[in-house]
Structure 1
């Protein structure tokens, strides 16, 4: 019996040590980063649902005060390549906002590969994603200044929740200047980081 109590106390001390040490590190890794003046932030995500032969896209556009300006969930058919759906998430996100007269935009994705490919100035025309990358780069010319950056999955929670919701969406669901209740907790959690 005493060994069980000793083990429990040891586990409690270990847990406290891990949570106090990793809390600030975790928060700095996934916390909201202040936007430069006059920028808006577009977070995108794109999971695949192999069993449904479908993929989803989630996008959320926010201002410097974290106010939600637009959210979208879109279903995509027959996309099974994880990188392809992540590129497609960036493309669709840009298509959602390109006509909003936004001059300065930060795009965040939790797919480091996609971010590095889009930030690479040397375009590889023979990659499997070449046509989507070309479409993305064409849309980027509509903005005065665009930054594409990587964010952790925890820092991309709202877009991820919207993308997961897309398995229920036949075409597209969009909300302007508001959002559906199913993402309210993710938005609240995001505001606490």
Structure 2
């Protein structure tokens, strides 16, 4: 079988699929002759090939739509020469504990530092998130980062931080502490991220469930999160 390609001279998946379908139809007719069955008419064969191509085009269209959707909600790198801190928290009610995950990456998506930590049980997800934020922002300052984007997926926490406004609630004083920490950076920006753009730290927070001691990765990718990090990297 000769793969003729497209009229432009290029050899695309589409042209390869078309030739493969033709070969399959020829093979089907050959088997019909061998086994004494009736051959299909040419107009039936042509119609069947058209149906296969329509099925292929439909599948390609769905794939393109899904890829676009994934790209729109993936992790995005910080501005040039800056770093991005993503964090997340989770509650392990069965163990009366909580988990914190955080990662700092540069504008090329390279991991500068990441950690997974197990903490005490907290009353709700909002409290878990703000305590995690307090912890990781202080951690970033101690590590010496000066230009930082801080990103989390709890809008109830990220909105007052982005607006630089405290809350009149039981976690209001913690938000005020985080705002003070943010002044320690030479430049900082706070923004909300959808969960799909925060997958790596969500997994790091879940990873803390089985930890006895905190785990820190310095300038290396956390092995349990390699697949999620790869997905972030190809979306850049």
1:141 lines up with 2:192 in the alignment: no
**Cα distance in 1 for residues equivalent to 2:221 and 2:203:** 12
Shift of 1:20: 3.4
Q: Normalization by structure 2: what TM-score?
A: 0.70
Unpaired segments of 5 or more residues in structure 1? 1-8
- Asked which structure has the greater CA Rg, the reply is 2
1:23 lines up with 2:67 in the alignment: yes
Contact conserved, 1:50 with 1:80, CA < 8 A, in 2? no
1:83 lines up with 2:123 in the alignment: no
Contact conserved, 2:87 with 2:136, CA < 8 A, in 1? yes
- Of the three residues 221, 226, 231, the one matched with 1:184 is 226
What is the match of residue 94 of structure 2?
51
Contact conserved, 1:58 with 1:73, CA < 8 A, in 2? yes
> Could you say if the C-alpha distance between residues 122 and 109 of structure 1 is closer, same or farther in structure 2, counting changes exceeding 3 Å?
closer
Q: Normalization by structure 1: what TM-score?
A: 0.84
User: How many corresponding residue pairs?
Assistant: 182
Shift of 1:93: 1.2
Shift of 1:34: 3.7
> Could you say if the C-alpha distance between residues 135 and 122 of structure 1 is closer, same or farther in structure 2, counting changes exceeding 3 Å?
closer
Q: Deviations over 1:62-86 (max 9, x none)?
A: 1111110101001111213101111
**Cα distance in 1 for residues equivalent to 2:93 and 2:60:** 39
1:106 lines up with 2:149 in the alignment: yes
- Of the three residues 145, 152, 156, the one matched with 2:198 is 156
Q: CA RMSD in A?
A: 2.2
1:130 lines up with 2:180 in the alignment: no
